[in-house]
Amino acid sequence: MSGSRITIFDTTTHKQLAEIAPGDWVRPIALRRDESLAYVALSKLHGFAVVDLKQEKTIRRVELPAAATWNRDPAL
């Protein structure tokens, strides 16, 4: 992974298989159990991108709703 790209490696051969650019800067990643999809947090998106690792492309961007301001402690 290099900034705005996800790099996929074969762990047996240690060779690079693909590089995917989901957009913006890549933050933490979670993989689906079967490793077909990656859920990628992006620095400029309040949400995440869904990346199809077999097709090597972003298939969806999910934007989360804004946090409720009434629930915040004004002393913080």
Instruction: Please give the chain's pLDDT, 76 residues, in tens.
Output: 457 888 888 899 999 999 998 878 888 889 999 999 999 998 888 889 999 999 999 999 999 887 666 666 666 5
Task: Show the 3-state SS of the chain.
Answer: CECCEEEEEECCCCEEEEEECCCCCEEEEEECCCCCEEEEEECCCCEEEEEECCCCEEEEEEECCCCCHHHCCCCC
0.75 surpassed by pTM: no
